[in-house]
Structure 1
Amino acid sequence: MAATSTALLGCSRTEPSGTGGDAGGAGNLLEQAKERGYLTVGFAGEAPYAYQDGGELTGQAPAVHREIWKALGIDELRGVQVEFGQLIPGLNAKRFDVVAAGMFILPERCAQAQFSEPVYVAPQAFLVPNGNPQQITDYKSVASSGITLGVMPGAVEGIHAKKQGVTKLVEVASQRDALSALKANRVQAFALTSISLRNMLEQEQDSGLTLTEPFTPVIDGKEQLGAGAAVFRKENNAMREAFNGELAKLKESGKLLELIQPFGFGPETIPPADLTTEKLCQG
C-alpha cells in the first residue's frame, strides 16, 4: 500500500532523507542533519502522540523531539506521515531519519530497529458502547465474549490480543475509522492506549461510547508494560546516544512532564528509573 507523505512546519514539500548511518561513507547522520538544518521524522497521525493540527506536526512525540533536537543544534522537523505498520519499514528504507510516533518498545521491533530509552509509559483500554454491554475488562474477556475487536495495523494491541486468544480482529486504518466501525457495529470494541482513547472521546461529543478501566496485559506471567520511545535505524548509534543524553536531562529537570502534559500525559506516565530499553527488548 502506498503511504502518504506530508510536509509540515513551514516546508513546501517533504523530501526523502537520503541519509545513511553513523558508519561507512555516508557519515554521521546527526552531523548531516545539523548541516542541512532539518531532521525528517516519521509519524502515523495518531493523537495525542503525533498528528497534524492546522498543517503543523504536533503531539507528545514531536514536542519531545523538537526540544531534544533543538538542544542538539537542529531547529526544524519535517514530518512524513505513513500508516503505523509502515513506520519501521519506512525508517529502514530511509524515507525519514527517525520515528516520532510514541511507538512501544517490543522485542520483535527491537530486532528491526533500535529504540531510545523510554519516553513515557501507558496502559491499554477499550472504547466500547455506553454501559460496556459485554463487560470486557481485558483481552481474555474479549476472547471469551466472542465480540469483534478493532485494532490499528501493526500496533501492539493486536499482538497482545492474539496472544490472549482473540480471534475476531479487524484492522482499522485510523482513529476516525475506528469510531465509524464502532458506530456501525462492525466492531464492538476498539483497543488502544488509554491516553489515545481518552483523547478520542474528548474530541467526539455524544458518541455513545465509553472508556473501560485501563489495564496492563499479562502474558506468560509477565506484565506487558507499554513504554514508548523514539526509533532509529540500527546503524545510527550516535544519533540514538545523543537523543538519550538530552532525554535524561529532561527527565532529571522535570521538563519532560512539562512538555507532554498538554497532551494528556500525567506524572504516572513518566517511566520509572529502573525501566530500560534493554529490559524491554528482552521481553
Structure 2
Amino acid sequence: MFMQNMYLQLKNKLSNPGALILLGFTLLFIQAGPAQAGPLMDRIDAGKTIRIGFANEVPWAYPGENNKPLGFVNAYTLGVLKEMGYTNIEPVVTEWGGLIPGLKANRFDIITGGMYILNSRCQNIAFSEPMGKFGDAFIVAKGNPKGIQNYQDIKNKNAMLVTGAGYNTIEAAKKEGVAENNIMTVPGPTEILAAVKAGRADAGGMTYFTALNLAKESGNAVDVTNPSALPEWTLAYVGIGFREADRDFLKRFNAAQKKYLGSAKMLKTVEQYGYTKNQLPGEVTTAWVCKNR
C-alpha cells in the first residue's frame, strides 16, 4: 500500500512518460527485492565465525580443553550446522544466567546450552523446533532424610530448595506455591551440589540428566529423586536459541534439523552423553511448547 501511494503521488507530479516508466521499474525492483538478512548471515557472509554460547552443564553442553564444545546439545547443534555446510564455529562459555542476555547483546549467535523452551523465554528469543524432551529432579542428602520428592514436599515441610540462576525450576517452584524465601539461587551445578552437601539446602533442583551427573561426581554422597514424582507439566522440551533478528537463519536450521533429528548419524553422535531415542521430542512443535510451558 505504501508503494502504491508513493507511485500515485509521484505520478501526479511527473509529466515525463519516460520518468514514469523508470519509476515504475524502480518500485517493482524494490518490492521484489530479497528479504534483509539477519546479523548471523551478515557474519557468515563476511567470513566470520558462528559463535555458540553455553555454560558448564554436564552432560548437556560444557567446555573441554581449550573450550572445546562437549555435551549432547553441542554435538547435536554442530551436527545440524555441518549438514548446512557450516563448520567455522567459535565456542563462547558463560554462566547459565548470562546465556539469554549474552545472545541479545550479540556476544554470541546461538545458544546451545540445553535450554528448556518456556513461554517466558519465548518472549525474549526465538527457538528452533524441539530437539528433545526431558524431566527435572532433585538431588537430596543420602537417604533423603526429609522425604522430599516434589515441590509440594518442599512447601509443606518448609524445606530449602537450591537451584541455578535462570533455571526453569525457579518458575516451577513458585507456580507450585513454594515461598520465595525458600528458594536459594546460585550460579550453577557445582554450587548446588555444595549447598546440599553442606546442609544449607534440603534439595537441589535441576534437570534429571544434570542430577545424575552430580550424584556420580559426589561419589554417591547425594541421591537423585524420581523425575516422575514432579508434575507432568514440568516435562520440558529443549530447543536451540536464536536472536529474533536471525529468523531467516533459524528457518534454514529447522529444515536441516528435520532431516537430522533421530537419524542413525545423529543418535551415534550423542549416545556417549546419554541421549537416546527415548529423548526424541515426537511431533511436538515449538509453537505449542511456547504456549503451554
Q: TM-score, normalised by structure 1?
A: 0.84
* 3-state SS of paired residue (1:282): helix
Distance in 2 (alpha carbons) for counterparts of 1:142 and 1:153: 19
* 3-state SS of paired residue (1:231): strand
* 1:35, distance to aligned residue in structure 2 (A): 4.5
* 1:259, distance to aligned residue in structure 2 (A): 2.4
Q: Percent same amino acid among aligned pairs?
A: 30
Is 1:136 the equivalent of 2:148? yes
| More helix as a share of residues | 2
Q: Quick check: 2:38–2:248 contact (8 Å CA) kept in 1?
A: no
Q: Quick check: 1:50–1:62 contact (8 Å CA) kept in 2?
A: yes
Q: Quick check: 2:96–2:188 contact (8 Å CA) kept in 1?
A: no
* 1:136, distance to aligned residue in structure 2 (A): 1.5
Q: Quick check: 1:216–1:224 contact (8 Å CA) kept in 2?
A: no
Point out where structure 2 has 5 or more consecutive residues left out of the alignment.
1-33
Distance in 1 (alpha carbons) for counterparts of 2:249 and 2:185: 33
* 1:27, distance to aligned residue in structure 2 (A): 5.0
Point out where structure 1 has 5 or more consecutive residues left out of the alignment.
1-21
Written as runs of structure 1 = structure 2, the 5 A alignment for 1:30-109 is 30=41, 32-33=43-44, 35-36=46-47, 38-55=49-66, 56-109=68-121
Q: 1:248 aligns with which of 239, 251, 258?
A: 258
Written as runs of structure 1 = structure 2, the 5 A alignment for 1:248-267 is 248-267=258-277
Q: Quick check: 2:137–2:226 contact (8 Å CA) kept in 1?
A: yes
Distance in 1 (alpha carbons) for counterparts of 2:234 and 2:264: 26
Written as runs of structure 1 = structure 2, the 5 A alignment for 1:1-283 is 24=36, 29-30=40-41, 32-33=43-44, 35-36=46-47, 38-55=49-66, 56-167=68-179, 168-205=182-219, 207-215=220-228, 217-218=230-231, 223-273=233-283, 275-283=284-292
CA separation of 1:270 and 1:170: change in aligned 2, threshold 3 A: same
Q: TM-score, normalised by structure 2?
A: 0.82
Question: How many matched pairs?
Answer: 256
Q: What per-residue deviation string (whole Å, max 9, x for no partner) do you get for residues 178-233 of structure 1?
A: 1211111111110111111112222332x421111113743xxx723211110011
Is the radius of gyration larger for structure 1 or structure 2?
2
Moved more, 226-235 or 36-45: 36-45
* 3-state SS of paired residue (1:165): coil
Q: What per-residue deviation string (whole Å, max 9, x for no partner) do you get for residues 234-263 of structure 1?
A: 121121111111111112534332222211
Distance in 1 (alpha carbons) for counterparts of 2:175 and 2:117: 17
RMSD value, Cα? 1.9
